[in-house]
Structure 1
């Protein structure tokens, strides 16, 4: 179960509004970024939320990966986005691919500020000598 879990909270995104509002467009951009990073999509859900009194509805884009998952949530009224990339490293180390995917999404949203976190999950136990 060892893997790398990357998250990022993006603020003041300067991207085109379509990336914050249009589930189909964002979903396609995410799918393209997944493939370009060398990861394997095996399922997907893209959902647009209705507008509220606070502004236009956001989008959730989720891609199930053979290696684990990508999830993107947008808040267009705040020009904010959260990103979640997790890769299991069973059989191979996919960490560089996860970082490449995260970097591609950061470039797409063009945030003014980013808070990033990386968590190594499921540490591999050392073998006894």
Structure 2
């Protein structure tokens, strides 16, 4: 991946030395330091992985990826509330939280991710439009569908649209 692509992704370029001319100009990283939650995950045998393949609807797959759209939703600019809602999603789905990173935007909006041992939950909000986009991807024994009820209780949308993708269906 090129240095420009890493920069656009907001990745820390310090770990990936740039050409001499770019180093002389100083670092170009947009990485920010923010409070994070990091939970240690217990060591497991290969047969006891949290992110193991599952069978769903008679199909062997890596897991279910839910695309959840909330319309005319509330509290979409309340970062602490969104963080607590993500924690509730993780807990009710039976997943393992590794890290949460949320970023508030000016004048409004929040984007972020909860990184899980079983994959992730991401969020992007547009409070001015009452719209929020959530991606919930979980492998193993986690129950991503439980997140739909949590999100509806928390943000009280007038309408919710959910699509499901079974990821890794073609892995041998």
Scaled by the length of structure 2, the TM-score of the pair is 0.59
Q: Is the contact made by 2:101 and 2:114 (CA closer than 8 Å) also made in structure 1?
A: yes
Q: Is the contact made by 2:88 and 2:150 (CA closer than 8 Å) also made in structure 1?
A: no
1:59 corresponds to which residue? 110
Deviation string 1:14-72 (CA, Å, 9 cap, x unpaired) is: x3xxx311212211221123123211100110110011xxxxx1011310000000011
CA distance in 2, matches of 1:125, 1:47: 34
CA drift at 1:125: 6.0
Aligned partner of residue 98 in structure 1, secondary structure: coil
| Structure with greater strand percent | 1
- Does residue 104 (structure 1) correspond to residue 150 (structure 2)? The answer is yes
Larger relative contact order (Cα-Cα within 8 Å, sequence gap ≥ 6)? 1
2:101 to 23, 37, 45: 45
Structure 1 stretches (4+) deviating beyond 2 angstroms? none
Q: Is the contact made by 1:3 and 1:88 (CA closer than 8 Å) also made in structure 2?
A: yes
Unaligned runs of 5+ in 1: 52-56
CA distance in 2, matches of 1:22, 1:69: 20
Q: How does 1:12-27 map to 2 (within 5 A)?
A: 12-13=72-73, 15=74, 19-27=75-83
Which has the higher Rg, Structure 1 or Structure 2? 2
| Count of aligned pairs between the two proteins | 112
The alignment's C-alpha RMSD in Å is: 1.8
